Amino acid sequence: MQHLYSPWRSAYLQEKKQDCECIFCHLSSVEVGQEWVFYKDEICYGVMNAYPYNPAHFMIIPHKHIDSPHLLSESEWLHLSGKVLCGIEMLYEFGAEGINTGINIKQAGGAGIPNHLHWHLVPRFQRDTNFMTSIAEGRIYGCDFEEIFNTIQELSRKYF
């Protein structure tokens, strides 16, 4: 068994369970700047992924507690999609050389939190795959999470 040092996870492990069953509903109620939420409007919000695949991996999440995009109104879907486009532009300025986006719909679709729709934006970099990923089946997050959050929050003021 491999063990990777991940000190930023200690806060999560020591955290008391939220009264709310859905973490995304909880995050919907917090202020911008708290708990990694960097943007918020009347329909959706942006939040950093707490366990990112790459630096600056974030999500756009509707406030509505729904599990599939077909439950959004057309105007809500267009709004959410527009924010994803803003996020793509923002990640290019951040330095991404490519981007993966996606929605995993429901548990069978691979969603880690299947009851609340969320859209991932994962920046990719030419050199983000190294021997750890290729050979050791592990990933290294080589950046300061809080510093990345501050950068993304600042960029969101320009793009969102």
Task: Based on the residue annotation, tell me whether 26 is a catalytic residue of this protein.
Answer: no
Q: Annotated binding residue at 120?
A: yes
Q: Annotated binding residue at 26?
A: no
109 with 117: CB under 8 angstroms?
A: no
Of the candidates 57, 63, 116, 118, the residue annotated as catalytic is 118
Q: What size, in residues, is the chain?
A: 160
The one-letter amino acid at 28:
S
Q: How far is CA 127 from the centre of its chain?
A: 21
The one-character DSSP state at 107 is: G
| Binding residue positions for substrate | 49, 120
| Binding residue positions | 49, 120
Active-site residues, by number, are 118
